[in-house]
Chain A
Amino acid sequence: MKKLIVALGAIWLIGYFIIPSVDSYIVSILLYAGINAILAMSLNLVNGCTGQFSMGHAGFMSIGGYIAALITLSLPIQTGLFPLAILTAGCVAAFAGLIVGLPSLRLRGDYLAIVTLGFGEIIRVVLLNINVIGGARGLPNIAHLSNFSWVFGCMVITLFSIERILRSPYGRAFLAVREDEVAAEAMGVDTTHAKLQAFVIGAFFAGCAGALFAHTLRYLNPQIFDFNRSFEIIIIVVLGGMGNIRGSIIAAFLLTFMREALRPLQDITRIDFRMIIYAIMLISLMLLSPEGILSSKWRKRGRS
């Protein structure tokens, strides 16, 4: 708790004194990296820690993004409104997680992956067809409420919360489900319940990340949240190591910066290199270091 407060203080100071003098392009990359870190940590809770393969994380992110944007667009803008919008976005996304998770978490492995993939696509198509939020044209003019302090503050809070949860009975139940579902049930863990909890908590933070994203980019379009977005988050989780929460942060920064570094190449050749590079990375990772890019030292610390 003390550590968290110190970290938040430090982030605020950096945001207040240092960030204004940093190149705004770099800052914007940092913001997207931080948002990706929140997304990856929350997905890691489901995929890495609980062992359930969810592929629709962008769906929860988009729900959070649109909800938060609608709140700040429709209410008279005040900075104090932003945390409220973030929390509401998280809660609505969590509720969506409950609705999706309730029937689908009884399914195992591949089936869950397919259902969550379908969910992500359904959300996107639904958003495309709602006119009041712009449909395919998108939702412009979102207030510029997000900044370094908000994104990194939320990132640190997410890290803190998820690590605390993992060291509580809730998280131990998640890990037990991942390790051995039959044994977990036999030891009194209601595995369906545990999976649902992980899913709902994951969706909550994804919703918060969506809210931050909406107010960073200041424009939303359903196409932003297509399958590639979900896939990108999965790549970060795998890269950082399944079940390794801190690894997810590092991988998020690596990948986000790498994507920006590739952008000039992409502009010249007009080929979307991202997916090719991701695929190559994933394959080499599986061959060279299946536990993620980080050493076992990090792994232990990240895992309680």
Chain B
Amino acid sequence: MKALEIQNLSIAFGGLRAVRDLQITIPPQVIYGLIGPNGAGKTTIFNMLTGVYRPTAGSIHVFGQALIGKSPSCITRKLHVARTFQNIRLFRELSVLDNILVASDGNNNILALEWIFGSPRSRRYAALQVAQAKKLLELFHLETRIHMLAKNLPYGDQRRLEIARAMATGARLLLLDEPAAGLNPAETETLINLIRFLQKEHAMTILVIEHDMHLVMNVCERIIVLDYGVKIAEGTPHEIQKNPRVIEAYLGSEP
């Protein structure tokens, strides 16, 4: 079964056709890159994949399940798709730990009254949940910052926390929107290792939007290139680097 299957996907904002007749198929447990100039429609695709925007046409299936029409929270919980944002959107006034816990609260059916009276079930759940959150934070080198407010984290840590938070939802398909934006080379290197680790050890399928070509060429098995809402190329990093249409889209055509 495919991790992600997008067929004939289109969306228009008024007269602007931001994405046109898009086809994407991603098998499970691979890392795909999504690149293209600014305004090509990359983030718009993520917004459709997470239920923020409703496509004007086409279909989306995640691990065989139809996605269109479901609410964003339902897509995260039931279809196990989670994302990060191009402009970091952490819960700024909450602690690092609470940011993770919000995501992992999930489908527990413990009643509010049980939480008030501290039923054994709620205590066990909370203890387990915090232990798991700490493990996850260790993976992202955030274990020493656990009680800091998210807004007080250094920028690079905020980027990593956003990925950790997406992981905490129990995602199987991870959508990363420019995760390396604003990172220094050392931080980018850490990020590259992290993305690879998530794919290998956590069996994640990852679709990453990125402008940092070093990252894209190094972690992505295949790359999809978008220009003006249309897919203009798809292939291995090697193929993409040599593709004349891609070079044209990025550098503009020769006169």
Contacts and interface: CB of A to CB of B under 8 A. Distances in A.
A47 B246 CA distance: 50
A161 interface: yes
A186 B76 contact: yes
Given A161-B116, A188-B106, A176 B91 contact: yes
Given A168-B122, A186-B50, A175 B116 contact: no
A175 B98 contact: yes
A175 B91 contact: yes
B22 interface: no
B239 interface: no
A175 B150 CA distance: 13
A179 B90 CA distance: 8
Contact of A172 (B51, B82, B105, B165): B105
A113 interface: no
B85 A183 contact: yes
A1 B76 contact: no
Interface residues of B, number: 36
Contact of B105 (A161, A173, A197, A201): A173
A80 to B, nearest CB: 22
Interface stretch (B107-115, B152-160, B193-201): B107-115
A299 to B, nearest CB: 10
Contacts of A231: none
B77 interface: yes
Given A183-B91, A185-B71, A190-B73, A169 B105 contact: yes
A168 B98 contact: no
A176 B94 contact: yes
Nearest to A180: B89
Contact of A170 (B52, B89, B98, B115): B115
A165 B169 contact: no
Contacts of B108: 169
B118 to A, nearest CB: 6
Of A161, A183, A197, most buried by chain B (CB within 10 Å of CB) is A183
B118 A180 contact: no
B116 A188 contact: no
Contacts of A169: 101, 105, 108, 110, 115
B71 A184 contact: no
Interface in A157-196: 160-161, 164-165, 167-170, 172-173, 175-176, 179-180, 182-191
B152 to A, nearest CB: 13
A188 B169 contact: yes
Nearest to A193: B73
A179 B116 contact: no
Contacts of B50: 186
Interface in B106-136: 106, 108, 110, 112, 115-118, 122
Contacts of B82: 186-188
B237 interface: no
B240 to A, nearest CB: 29
A168 B169 contact: no
Of A161, A164, A185, A186, most buried by chain B (CB within 10 Å of CB) is A186
Contact of B169 (A172, A180, A187): A187
Contact of A191 (B73, B94, B110, B115): B73
Given A180-B92, A186-B82, A186-B89, 20 more contacts: A161-B116, A164-B115, A164-B116, A165-B115, A168-B110, A169-B108, A172-B94, A173-B102, A180-B89, A180-B90, A183-B90, A185-B71, A185-B73, A186-B85, A187-B168, A188-B82, A188-B105, A188-B106, A189-B73, A201-B112
8 contacts: A169-B110, A172-B101, A172-B102, A175-B102, A180-B91, A186-B50, A187-B169, A190-B74
The 10 closest A-B CB pairs, nearest first, are A168-B115, A169-B105, A179-B91, A188-B76, A185-B72, A183-B89, A187-B103, A176-B102, A190-B73, A188-B77
